[in-house]
Structure 1
Amino acid sequence: MDLENLRARRLRAHRLSDPAPDVVSAARHLTATQAQEFWGGRWALAVRTAGEPTLREVDRAFDRGDLIRSWTQRGTVHIVDPRDLGWMLSVTSARQDRQAAGIHRSLEIDDHPLGRAERAARAALCGGNRLTRLEFAEVLVGAGVDTSGMRGNMILTALCRRGVIVLGPVVPREGAPTREQYLVAADEWIRDAATPVDPLAELLVRYLRAHGPAGLADFRWWAGLPLGLARAAREGAGERVSEIEEGIFVQAGTAGGSGVGAGAAASFDGLEVPALALGPFDEYYLSYADRTAICTPAQAAAIGPSANGAVKPVLIGSGGEVIGTWKHSLAVGRHHLDPVAELAPGGPGEASVAAALDRFARFLRG
């Protein structure tokens, strides 16, 4: 598949050229939106939504319980529809636990402290209670659980993978946008959960719906699963998935989410796709094993993931390709400053990039 066609289809699949009607719909379409940087995950939803929703509007979806964050795959925190959390963890949690086992052993975290922490968390959060991370750590210490060093965070993420705790409503922050969420009890916060007949196959179909066209290696990387499970997902998905070229798949009946027949070509003809400012860890850039469809290897090395796991915010040109990076600080006293572009040579005009960054500024300040 030529790169222009691939990028056009992926832009549609990601709802970047075909925005969702509201923030919750955007999140449900993506299934899991990577969000180590909480502001970046919220912006990822806003930039995929019609009507330019503000940060406050996105936060209200968390406050209502329409969205949560949890460690759904690859040991990484994602924004998800609460109803999807249980079946997703049924596919990914065992793999995540095995990946965390080494550091758990080095920190002497085993079933005894985790069991004590779970009992303390359930007791503290029952009846609709909510805790900040600091308050949660105090609860654990009061129950005799050591939270020193990395232990507190590793215990928290383990309890999230067990489906005990989720990150829910936002915590107000004086003088700047919030960066924290309250911890709440998953069994009280999640309503109307349902499990697909084949959760593994469902995860592949959902991935292709929002990321296709893509290969099994891309799905394997995104879901954090071994190749054998990726192949089993393909087999289980059956006719719900179409192979449009050898090893390249979309959800059946779509061209990477475009609504065009699976065998039809998608292109930029007639598409109005202005420059886009995407946040750190954005799915459009990160959620593929091979990212060179939208950037050069040199650009990918500069963007990340870096040695410490960081991924820079990216600027996307009208053809769906990376044209540069940008930066912004949410620190108190700096969050009101304008974002700053770092353009690659030969990129589009400043006006197009400025308009993309202005949209982010309106999101943050609105």
Structure 2
Amino acid sequence: MTKTRPRISDRQRRALLMRRHLLTPPVRATSVEQVAQALVGLHATEPATVFLSVAARMNGATPQAVERALYEDRSLVRMLCMRRTMFVVPKDLAPVVEASAARTVAARERAALAKVLAEQLGHGTRWLTDVETEVAAALEELGEADAVQIADAVPRLKEQITISPGKPYETRPRIGNKVLTVMAAEGRLRRGHPQGSWTSAKFRWTLAEPHPQLPADQARVELATRYLAAFGPATLDDLKWWTGWNLTQTRTALAGTAAIEADLDHATGYVLPDDPVLQESAGDDSDTVVNLLPTLDPTAMGWRNRDWYLDPAYAPELFDRNGNICPTVWAGGRIIGGWRQQDDGQIVTELLTSPPAVDPRVCAALAAEADRLAEFLGNVRVRPHVSTPLMHRLRA
């Protein structure tokens, strides 16, 4: 007898999203590491996103708690990985992410660096190998250092290259930044404490701890399993986009998870065979639960197909040309607007539905959540780099 495929509605998916991504008060995390585990990894292209993603999902969150996990306990690892995007992932997952995604990114970064060295400076692979050895020796002695300090110890890093020659925006940076980036992409260096506050994108560098080297195929299956546990049900296209794998790699990894097909409202999705949603209803989380999520938050960026939690008509207001999403307002697992911090620290919002259509309880919850976020930020001011029409209006 043919087994009937499970059916999972958009409303069920939103309820699952809120529970699995720790977006309702009863299931909020009690540690920074718990947040990262629940989301597989935290987007870290903008350093503040890591902190604000935690703040939205953790009771009693403080910037100091996030800094402790990143730089003291080192229970979280910052990596250039899926889709050549910076993520912060749990330490135990780092070998999986390295083998399944970061390894390919690192190979491309090294090839690009080798080309620049050869074409602009006339250096071959021996030059680069020698410089990398010197960098490792310098950090062994310094412990943690910024790029300038490392270049003082390894003067060859001060050689300059030309970016966009002949253009009005031509620049001549030192080669050192690219060398350090490649070494970090390969897992040999890690980013340490920032130079400045926790919103800074300029980091000091330190030697990375070695971790087990896994076969790429095995690692892709494990990462796909982790993704489906956190983001399922999801489509094949969602998984391919989120990981940055090619179609063959995605299909092979998906098959390795033993995921089963499920009928979604507008597509065919996949869920793990032991997913609780297959045994019982996902529940019906309140439509009045409000969340303020930051730029590039993992929940907002977790799927390629977003119609079930974002009205397509609103997408041009929230995404820039590169597909990056601005800070968003959520209610009941659905994006309903955006937010921004003003110079005086106040959190201002704009809803993308007409006020008469907004439940007064949502407005009250939104005000309370804005106060909670403002308390976390304190005197720190966050300036998202994502530029969208909604952000321009809030800035005005």
Alpha-carbon contact 1:160-1:166 (below 8 Å) kept: yes
How far the C-alpha of 1:167 sits from its partner, in A, is: 1.7
The count of aligned residue pairs is 345
8 Å CA contact retained: 1:52, 1:363? no
Within a 5 Å distance, the mapping from 1:1-366 to structure 2 comes to 1-17=8-24, 18-49=27-58, 51-64=59-72, 65-97=74-106, 100=109, 104=113, 107-108=116-117, 111-112=125-126, 114-126=128-140, 129-139=143-153, 141-143=155-157, 145-146=159-160, 148-149=172-173, 151-173=175-197, 178-187=200-209, 195=214, 198-238=218-258, 241-245=259-263, 247-254=268-275, 260-268=276-284, 271=286, 274-304=289-319, 306-308=320-322, 310-317=324-331, 319-328=332-341, 334=343, 337-346=345-354, 347-349=358-360, 350-365=363-378
How far off is 1:152 after superposition?
4.5
CA distance in 2 between counterparts of 1:114 and 1:83 reads 30
3-state SS of the aligned residue for 1:356? helix
Moved more, 241-250 or 141-150: 141-150
Most deviating of 147-156 and 244-253:
147-156
More off after superposition, 214-223 vs 23-32: 23-32
* Identity %, equivalent residues: 24
Q: Aligned Cα RMSD in Å?
A: 3.0
CA contact (8 A) 2:191 2:206 kept: yes
Determine if contact 2:237/2:304 at 8 Å carries over to the other structure: yes
Cα distance between partner residues in 2 of 1:207 and 1:36: 19
Q: Residues 99-144 of structure 1: CA distance to partner in whole angstroms, max 9, x if unpaired? A: 5578547744774564344223211222570122443455554456
Q: Can you list the C-alpha shifts for 1:163-186, whole angstroms capped at 9, x where unaligned?
A: 11112344444xx85554432111
SS at match of 2:329: strand
Q: Secondary structure of 2:299's partner?
A: helix
Whole-angstrom distance in 1 between the partners of 2:192 and 2:183? 14
SS in 1 for 2:300: helix
Partners of 1:16 and 1:235 in 2: CA distance: 30
| C-alpha contact (below 8 Å) 2:33/2:69 kept by paired residues | yes
Bigger relative contact order, structure 1 or 2 (CA pairs below 8 A, ≥6 apart): 1
1:88–1:52 Cα change, 3 Å: same
Q: CA contact under 8 A between 2:188 and 2:208: conserved in structure 1?
A: yes
Secondary structure at the aligned position of 1:126 is classed as helix
Letter in 2 for 1:156: L
User: In structure 2, what residue type is equivalent to 1:6?
Assistant: R
Q: Determine the C-alpha separation between the residues in 1 that align with 2:78 and 2:99.
A: 16
Q: Deviations over 1:217-238 (max 9, x none)?
A: 1111111111111111112222
Kindly provide the amino acid, as one letter, of the partner of residue 183 in structure 1: W
Q: Which amino acid aligns with 2:23?
A: L
TM-score norm. by structure 1 comes to: 0.82
* 8 A contact 1:84–1:194 mirrored in 2: no
Query: Does the 8 Å contact 1:63/1:170 carry over to 2?
Result: no
Alpha carbons 2:160, 2:174 under 8 Å: kept: no
Between the aligned partners of 1:20 and 1:56, the Cα distance in structure 2 is 16
| Unmatched tracts of structure 2, length 5 or more | 1-7, 119-123, 162-171, 380-396
Distance, in Å, in 2 between the alignment partners of 1:138 and 1:27 is: 36
